[in-house]
Amino acid sequence: MATARAEYETRVTQFRAELVTLDRQGGRLANLRTLTFLGFIGLGFAVGFDKIPRWGLLGALACLAGYIALAVIHAGVIRREDFAKMRLSLNERGLLRLQGRWHDFPSTGEGRVPDGHLYGGDLDITGRGSLFQRLDDTGTAAGEQRLLDWLLTPAQSAEAIHARQGAVRELGPLIDFRQTLVAEARMAGKKDKADPSRFLAWAEAPSTLNAIRWAWPIAHVLPVFTITAGLLSANDVINALPFWIGLVIQIAIVVATRKPIGAMWEALSMGEHGFIRFEQTFASIDAQKFAGPRLLALQQGLMEGPPVSARLRTFARLMGFAELKHSGQMHPIINALTLWDLLVLFRIDRWRETQGKGARQWFEALAEFEALSSFATWHFERPEDAFPQVDDGAVHLEAVELGHPLLEKPIRNDVTLSSPGTGLVITGSNMSGKTTLMRATGLNTVMALAGLPVCANSMKVSRVQVLTSMRVKDSLERGVSYFYAEVQRIKTVLDTAKEHTDRCLFFLDELFMGTNAKERQIASRQLLLMLLDLGAAGAVTTHDLSICELAKERPEKIRNVHFRDEVKDGEMTFDYRLREGVVQTTNALEVLRRAGVQVG
């Protein structure tokens, strides 16, 4: 962490100094542009009012040329300034994360976990203070979604997880590449994360110009004839009739093709927003040298044929020509004389036919690069976190010194679930750490199955399906009581365990609190045994000490563990250390008294 902090601080200083320099350059260029523009206007008026000789026009043209050149240079400086601001922001965010001040980051993923997800609502995957909020350093909507998908869905094989781990290890020290990738992607989206979905819809859709293919060859021949006839007529070589005939035919073609051209322009205008600015994003991927198989495969997929950045450069150039349509005064004249829209949009349509089908693959690869880069940023900032050993075997978990990854200074404990059918019954007084341990174990497992390092000295885990029941909510709107909501949740847990025998890892917090003590004891015991008989492994917290008797029935499979509290000098303290056996103390009455509720 110290290395990451020093790197971020160095880069913050570097980019702040760069911004000062660029701001000065921009100011000087703005002043020079003003001077050259005034020179152009002044010399032009001076020649027009015969204040200076005609050769003054050369000076006016020189000023105009200088103004255009300075405008191009100034645009480059502005872009470099925007790029430096974006990279400064990324490094300042890095420092905030290291200081534990990331809870106000705007990207929380709130509301994006599907209803009934098997663990997403219980393990702080999304929302304020969540893993997603801490992780998300993506630049596009697709990258953000890929990151969320990885956290909500385990990878399909241990091999896939190992490939992601290798990519994360390789990307960790490549801070320049990671920040350039994200900065360029965010610049493409400007205010919001860019979303290429509309562009992909256009790129993969059938052409809207098929009905007017007949106009394509005419657009190459007729304007040449018409303009040539006009020039010859203007020089009295021929009469004007051929020119007017050609112009009338061209106007008729413009009218006849208006609807298909308009439909394509509308789809293109909605879809390309921000898309053409991804040229530099893909150029950063093209330029980076990778060694690992996963990153090489992603990069090579983008380099089949011309580089994606070159293809986007071609598209951007064509769009630049097409944007003449925005000129309300000049466009109708130029289009009538040259059939400009047909010439340009048919070429864009040709680009769509040859390149559009591969565009989705480009952005799929970019989304994966972004998600892996977010993982790599975690690895860079937390090098003490271990990469877990993941296999495709039956359910098991062994973690040494495991802590909650979202706490700044977590208390660490060893957690072992050695085989299918093994369970922990966790007892302890209120606020002693029971639920936190389960969330820490579940969240680290989710991270391991996504390809992230985990908050532990070491961890071995199989590729499991995580199941939780912790934050059950009733619903007045749907007329669902707390107890029935919990029953629905438990049914989902059981059904999933039946579908994935020997593959599930469960975490259940204070079962069946919505019913009486006797029925709660019976239901809790039976549920735990059913899950273990299905080959699931996991943990359950309880205040009902009768559940602990199960360890006597299955001593080789069920362990009692507990957390405890102590009262010293009138103060209640917790050490959050996991111990063997059943808790011997309670603190509910003491907690009530300290809250000002005098009972007992």
pLDDT in tens, 299-326: 988 877 788 888 888 888 888 888 777 7
CB neighbourhood size of 210 (10 A): 9
Q: Look at 129 and 480; give whichever has higher pLDDT.
A: 129
For residue 378 the two structure tokens come to 């975690």
* Residues 83, 67: Cα–Cα separation, whole Å: 24
β-strands 465-469, 504-509: how paired?
Answer: parallel
Residue-wise pLDDT for 323-338, tens only, equals 777 766 778 888 898 9
What is the pLDDT averaged over residues 252-259?
Answer: 93
* Closest to 466 (Cα-Cα) out of 482, 486, 443: 443
Taking the C-alpha atoms of residue 564 and residue 179, their distance in angstroms, rounded to an integer, is 45
Closest CA to 372 of 211, 533, 165: 165
Q: Tokens representing 178?
A: 């990671």
- Could you give the percent of the chain with pLDDT greater than 90? 56
Is 228's pLDDT higher than 80? Answer: yes
User: pLDDT confidence of 396, banded at 50, 70, 90?
Assistant: very high
Taking only the tens place, the pLDDT of each residue in 172-188 is 999 999 999 999 888 87
Residue 476 has pLDDT above 50, yes or no: no
Q: Output the pLDDT for position 589.
A: 44
Check residue 321 and give its pLDDT.
84
Question: 389-594 falls under which CATH superfamily?
Answer: P-loop containing nucleotide triphosphate hydrolases (3.40.50.300)
Phi, psi (deg, nearest 5) at residue 426: -105, 120
Structure tokens that stand for 276 in this block: 């053409």
Among the residue ranges 216-220, 376-380, 589-593, the one predicted with the least confidence is 589-593
Q: How far apart, in whole angstroms, are the C-alpha atoms of residue 327 and residue 332?
A: 9
DSSP 545: G
The predicted model gives 218-229 an average pLDDT of 92
What is the rounded CA–CA span in Å between residue 295 and residue 309?
18
Give the model's pLDDT for residue 320.
80
Tokens encoding 214: 């007949």
Q: Across the chain, what does the average pLDDT equal?
A: 88
Model confidence at 379, pLDDT cuts 50, 70, 90, reads: very high
- List 413's β-bridge partners, or say none: 402
* Assigned token pair, 517: 């003590």
Q: What is the pLDDT of residue 191?
A: 62
Is pLDDT larger for residue 332 or for residue 594? 332
| 67-95 residue pLDDT tens | 889 888 998 899 899 999 999 999 999 99
Q: What is the pLDDT of residue 569?
A: 65
The domain ranges of the chain are 1-99, 197-368, 389-594
Q: How far apart are CA 249 and CA 255, in angstroms?
A: 10
The type of residue at 48 is: G
Short-list 539, 455, 208, CA closest to 349: 208
Token reading at 416: 């072992």
Residue, of 271 and 493, whose pLDDT is higher: 493
- Lowest pLDDT segment from 152-156, 514-518, 577-581: 514-518
Q: Is the pLDDT of residue 490 over 60?
A: yes
* 153/155 Cα distance (integer angstroms): 6
Predicted model pTM: 0.87
Question: Mean of the pLDDT values across residues 47-66?
Answer: 80
CA distance 540 to 600: 29
pLDDT: is 295 or 55 the higher one?
Answer: 295
For the chain, how far is it from start to end, CA to CA, in angstroms? 49
**Which residue type occupies 588?**
A
pLDDT at position 600 is: 55
Q: Are 77 and 22 in contact (CB under 8 A)?
A: yes
Q: In what order do the strands lie in the sheet with 465-469?
A: 465-469, 504-509, 537-541, 423-428, 558-563, 579-580
Query: pLDDT class for 597, splitting at 50, 70, 90?
Result: low
Check residue 383 and give its pLDDT.
94
Whether the pLDDT of residue 479 is over 50: the answer is no
Flag whether pLDDT at 293 surpasses 50. yes
Gap between the Cα atoms of 483 and 231, Å rounded: 88
Which tokens sit at 336? Answer: 């009538």
445 touches 461 (CB < 8 A): yes
Confidence at residue 515, expressed as pLDDT on a 0 to 100 scale? 73
Strand (E) or helix (H) holding 198: helix 197-204
Whether 9 has a pLDDT exceeding 70, the answer reads: yes
**Mean pLDDT for the stretch of residues 252-278:** 80
- Nearest Cα neighbor of 541 from 413, 432, 417, 416 is 432
Strand partners, 398: 416, 460
pLDDT band with cut points at 50, 70 and 90 for residue 202: confident
Q: Which residue type sits at 70?
A: L
Alpha-carbon separation of residue 276 from 76, 84, 279, 320, 501 (angstroms): 16, 20, 6, 10, 49
Instruction: Give me 104's structure tokens.
Output: 């106000």
Whole-number pLDDT of residue 592 = 47
